[in-house]
A and B are shown apart, each in its own frame.
Chain A
Amino acid sequence: MEYRTVLTTCTYCGCGCGLYLEVMDGRLVGTIPCKTNPVNEGKLCVKGWNVHEFVQSPKRLTRPLLRKNRELTPVSWDEALDFTAARLREIKEAHGSDSIAFLASAKVTNEENYLIQKFARAAVGTNNVDHCARL
């Protein structure tokens, strides 16, 4: 039996509460708020308290899905990216850049979020960028 605690930051919103994840034999089993963290001072909200649950959720998407004949079907990354690029170009040409918006996620890294806003502004030409952590 192996048990350890890992200091990390809550990914649910922009506050960035510090917390410890309890790891037991390679599985996350619990969340403990970090008492000394100056952001949350040992407190968490209901989302933060359950942050260990989504990581191992069987509902997580692990591969790209494309809706074909009204049904989501697993496809390769190449196919998914080609389809997305083609449709984005079509929409941009037909309705203009501002008809497209980009939603980023709190559960990816800062660098990935930088990339998506760069893509939105430089490649597509819109400022319509939003984020689930913009509380």
Chain B
Amino acid sequence: MDDKIKMKVQELLQSGKIKGFLGLRERHGQVGPYLFTDGDDLEGLVVGDRFKPGDSRYPLNKQLMKITRGDPSGCYGVLVRGCDERGLKTLFGSGQIKSEQVVPVGIACPQDLADACECLKPYPDERVAGEAAEPRSFATVAKVEAMELDERFRLWLAEFSKCIKCYGCRNICPMCYCSECTLENKDFGDIGSLPAENPVFHLTRAIHMAGRCIDCGLCNEVCPADIPLRTLYKKIADIVEEEFHCRPGYGSPETPPGLNIRGEELKH
């Protein structure tokens, strides 16, 4: 898989089509994001399946946002999985990145990762390497939904009480691009105090993920307290689909989510 990606990146860089390729590089024994700019020096380029599939995924779209803002005329390549592609589409739709500045280089996730992620689309539309894995449905959401109301409340209260308020879920999130965050607004919460308001701190973040969350699961991976945030945000994506008949990132990039609600038949 690495070799196919390397060849593609080399071709793109040498043709001058892209100024740099934002991917992952293994160096000093660690895998991290890196902007490759020389087509002849792609040593260490990896796709992030080190010991197990997808164990070193990074919010590359978030870094791409910084890069394209720093260089508004340059065109850059980026390594995308299914989730990253959904993220890119949503960021194009909300005007955070210009689509003409990005050349995605897609890889499909292996089945193990698709199973672990419960991913609805574990592959990008255009891929350079990898075989499309079978999609999976949200079993974790169904499990919570099968519980009684007070049981659910106790579950989430116990989970959220582990929060150390590191803001990691927000910081790593490739879809969190607001310059001012409600979670740091004193009118909406007790900022700077611990523990985080339970459960409202997390519910506020969850409701802000509506129409944004593309289910990459980085929030879950980054949480030092192992709060199953992904399950909560998966549910929010389900709710958005029920209410707005669209799921962020699954449509075409030209049509932003159906936010034009005027004239739509209301069920309430």
Query: Contact check: which of B32, B166, B168 meets A7 at CB < 8 Å?
Result: B32
Q: Is B164 an interface residue (CB 8 A)?
A: yes
Known: A20-B33, A36-B55. A43 touches B222 (CB 8 A): yes
Q: Is A35 an interface residue (CB 8 A)?
A: yes
Q: Is B245 an interface residue (CB 8 A)?
A: no
Complex CA–CA separation, A48 to B28 (angstroms): 21
Complex CA–CA separation, A44 to B221 (angstroms): 11
Q: Is B5 an interface residue (CB 8 A)?
A: no
Query: Cβ of B50 and Cβ of A36 under 8 Å apart?
Result: yes
A1 neighbours in B (Cβ, 8 Å): 67, 70-71, 74
Query: Contact check: which of B27, B66, B167, B223 meets A24 at CB < 8 Å?
Result: B66
Total interface residues on B, CB under 8 Å, equals: 33
Query: Cβ of B33 and Cβ of A43 under 8 Å apart?
Result: no
Complex CA–CA separation, A49 to B74 (angstroms): 29
Query: Cβ of B223 and Cβ of A45 under 8 Å apart?
Result: no
A5 neighbours in B (Cβ, 8 Å): 32-35
Query: Contact check: which of A25, A32, A45 meets B70 at CB < 8 Å?
Result: A25
Query: Cβ of B57 and Cβ of A35 under 8 Å apart?
Result: yes
Query: Cβ of B168 and Cβ of A36 under 8 Å apart?
Result: no
Q: Is A37 an interface residue (CB 8 A)?
A: yes
Complex CA–CA separation, A5 to B172 (angstroms): 15
Complex CA–CA separation, A11 to B168 (angstroms): 18
Known: A33-B222, A36-B31, A36-B56. A49 touches B67 (CB 8 A): no
Q: Is B63 an interface residue (CB 8 A)?
A: yes
Docked complex: B92-111 residues within 8 A CB-CB of A: none
Q: Is B230 an interface residue (CB 8 A)?
A: no
> Nearest CB to that of B223 among chain A residues?
A43
Query: Cβ of B55 and Cβ of A35 under 8 Å apart?
Result: yes
Query: Cβ of B50 and Cβ of A45 under 8 Å apart?
Result: no
Q: Is B137 an interface residue (CB 8 A)?
A: no
Query: Cβ of A3 and Cβ of B166 under 8 Å apart?
Result: no
> Nearest CB to that of A6 among chain B residues?
B32
Query: Cβ of B164 and Cβ of A46 under 8 Å apart?
Result: yes
Mask: chain A, 9-34; 1 = CB below 8 Å from B; 0 = not: 00000000010101011000111111
Mask: chain A, 52-85; 1 = CB below 8 Å from B; 0 = not: 0000000000000000000000000000000000
With a 10 A CB-CB cut-off, give which of B32, B67, B221 has the most chain A CB atoms: B32
Q: Is B82 an interface residue (CB 8 A)?
A: no
Complex CA–CA separation, A34 to B171 (angstroms): 14
Q: Is A89 an interface residue (CB 8 A)?
A: no
Q: Is A96 an interface residue (CB 8 A)?
A: no
- Min CB distance A15 to B, Å, is 11
B166 neighbours in A (Cβ, 8 Å): 44-46, 48-49
B89 neighbours in A (Cβ, 8 Å): none
Query: Cβ of A42 and Cβ of B222 under 8 Å apart?
Result: yes
> Nearest CB to that of B68 among chain A residues?
A1
B56 neighbours in A (Cβ, 8 Å): 35-36, 42
Q: Is A87 an interface residue (CB 8 A)?
A: no
Query: Cβ of B224 and Cβ of A44 under 8 Å apart?
Result: yes
Query: Contact check: which of A32, A42, A48 meets B33 at CB < 8 Å?
Result: A32
Query: Cβ of B28 and Cβ of A22 under 8 Å apart?
Result: no
11 contacts between A and B (CB under 8 A): A1-B67, A3-B35, A7-B28, A24-B70, A30-B63, A33-B172, A35-B55, A35-B57, A36-B29, A36-B30, A49-B171
Q: What residues make up the interface of A, taking CB atoms closer than 8 Å to B? A: 1, 3-5, 7, 18, 20, 22, 24-25, 29-37, 42-46, 48-49
| Known pairs A5-B33, A35-B221, A49-B171 / 5 extra A-B pairs, C-beta < 8 Å | A3-B63, A20-B32, A22-B66, A34-B30, A43-B224
